[in-house]
Chain A
Amino acid sequence: MNLIRLGNINPYIIYVLVFFGILIPLLTPLGFPAVVAPMVKNVYAAVDALKPGDTIVMSFDYSAGGSAEIYPQTRAMALQALKKNVKIVCIAFSDQGVPFADQIVDIYLAAGKKYGEDIVNLGYLTGSETGIAAFLADFAKAVPKDVKGKETLSYPLIKETNTANKVQLIGSFGTGKPGPLEWVRQLAQYKVKYAAGVTTSMAPQAYPYVQAGQCVGVLAGMVDAAGYEAVIKEPGPATKGMDAQSMGHLVVIGLVLLGNIAYWAEHGQRRKGA
């Protein structure tokens, strides 16, 4: 068999391999259990350490394009917070994050919680890192009205916890800017725990913050969302995608290996010929 030909596969064949490699496990699940990474356990432990009545700020800094990876993370954190009777203040520093915050509010309301007392959605705040700085100093001043158009300070939850020093955990979920870098920079002057949910590609850059103690843990994309869903025993969209994720990885690894086999076969032949 001419191994060199393995290096010339038609790109359309690769597209078909990738497409079916990811689709088939979605249609016929294989049942691989999710991997629970140590970072997931860190984030879980941070939320688990909260007491009933504590408050989390969840920041929805992601765009619709990244929602497949990030929304399952926010859903898992919200479900765990709900079980712990923890309150949530939702804010978004990405304009497209607001409807996803609405979905988290819906989860809380469906469980019988009260808007304004147990959860509130403050909507979108412009300004990226400047907006974060303004928000952390004074929630109500930075966001005078919530998504419903009501005065923020009229809500008991905001009256109790109007600044970063009065919340127990901040979770930011983003697909770009602002991300863990901006949050860690602005949280340097506050004594509050911080957890980050990011896309898989951003996760490697956030590890130094965890080791330095500036961040309790980083959730990396859909894979860690599935791990989080496994830990809280609430399987969701991330868990359903894990078989497809596995097969996708195997397809890409297979293609890379094929390409390398062809390369080294060609290299060997050139050396023989030389």
Chain B
Amino acid sequence: MKRELPIGIAGLMAVIMLVEYFFKVTWLQNFAKDLRDWSTIVSAFALAFAAANLTLLHGKNIAIKRDGWQYSIVMIGCMFAFVISGALFGRTSKGFLFLWNAGLVPLSSAFYAMIVFQIATASYRAFRARNIDAALLLIAGVLVMLGKAPVGAAMWGGFAPITDWIMNVPNLAANRGIMIGAALGTVATGLRIMLGLDRAYLGRSE
């Protein structure tokens, strides 16, 4: 029952969504609309659950003074600062906007951007034309970088058309082939979930 009920629900929801898509039955389509809206509400609760999970985990770290527990205080403090300013004072309050503009945006950008150094070092160390395949990869990569940047167009007008060709022919062909394969995978996974064969989302059995 603890596993069969969720499997049944997953299958039922999948069947409703599929039938509603292919058969234009008004009451079923309206019901499916409601179900989709309910799903977005459950997803919103999932965000709250994630925050609660994070709080419990780091709260435990602080309670037992695990190595690095001071950083857990920083994490929980920042989280609740955002929650309090947003929930009590609103999204457009000074405190909320300060945390957004001076905290989250620059930090988020900085973390994403930091990888430029690692990527440059990795390209220098590992990107070697050891064989034909690697040489093709290297040549295509260099040509695309030169074709996309203004300096490439300033050096030679031919880089941009070559880049367009690489993007519109081999890149398109490869991505199309991969996409068709991935589509088959999506269909297979969807059917497996619908038929109850894929139960990874249920977690460990009790």
Contacts and interface: CB of A to CB of B under 8 A. Distances in A.
A binds B: yes
Interface of A: 9, 11, 14-15, 17-19, 22, 32-35, 37-38, 63-68, 95-96, 98-99, 125-128, 130-131, 133-134, 137-138, 141-142, 147, 189, 200, 203-205, 207-208, 211, 220, 223, 226, 242-243, 245-253, 255-256, 258-260, 263-264
Given A127-B39, A127-B40, A256 B149 contact: no
Contact of B37 (A19, A34, A37, A141): A141
A125 B40 CA distance: 7
Given A96-B108, A256-B124, 10 more contacts: A65-B108, A125-B40, A127-B36, A134-B37, A200-B148, A246-B150, A249-B145, A249-B148, A256-B123, A258-B124
Residue among A17, A19, A99 having the largest count of chain B Cβ atoms under 10 Å: A99
A263 B33 contact: no
Residue among A22, A64, A220 having the largest count of chain B Cβ atoms under 10 Å: A64
B151 interface: yes
Interface residues on B, range: 35 or more
Given A64-B105, A141-B37, A35 B117 contact: no
A66 B112 CA distance: 8
A34 B151 CA distance: 9
B138 interface: yes
Contacts of B130: 263
21 contacts: A14-B120, A14-B121, A18-B120, A35-B147, A37-B160, A38-B164, A64-B104, A98-B91, A126-B41, A130-B43, A131-B43, A137-B33, A138-B33, A203-B167, A223-B149, A246-B151, A249-B152, A253-B142, A253-B145, A256-B123, A259-B123
A126 B47 contact: yes
B123 A255 contact: yes
Interface string B133-174: 000001001100111111111100000100010011001100
A223 B124 CA distance: 23
B109 A131 contact: no
B188 interface: no
A89 B134 CA distance: 46
A259 B146 contact: no
A141 B33 contact: yes
A203 to B, nearest CB: 8
Contact of A207 (B41, B151, B168): B168
Interface of B: 21, 33, 36-37, 39-41, 43-44, 46-47, 91, 100, 104-105, 108-109, 111-113, 116-117, 119-121, 123-125, 127-130, 138, 141-142, 145-154, 160, 164, 167-168, 171-172, 175-176, 179
A62 to B, nearest CB: 11
Contacts of A65: 108-109, 111-113
A125 to B, nearest CB: 6
A259 B109 contact: no
B19 to A, nearest CB: 14
B116 A37 contact: no
A263 B128 contact: yes
Given A65-B112, A134-B33, A252-B123, A242 B105 contact: no
A17 B152 CA distance: 20
A17 B41 CA distance: 49
Contacts of B119: 252
B150 A242 contact: yes
B171 to A, nearest CB: 5
A36 to B, nearest CB: 9
Contact of A246 (B142, B149, B175): B149
Given A246-B150, A246-B151, A35 B91 contact: no
Contacts of B167: 203-204, 207
B120 A255 contact: yes
Contacts of B33: 134, 137-138, 141
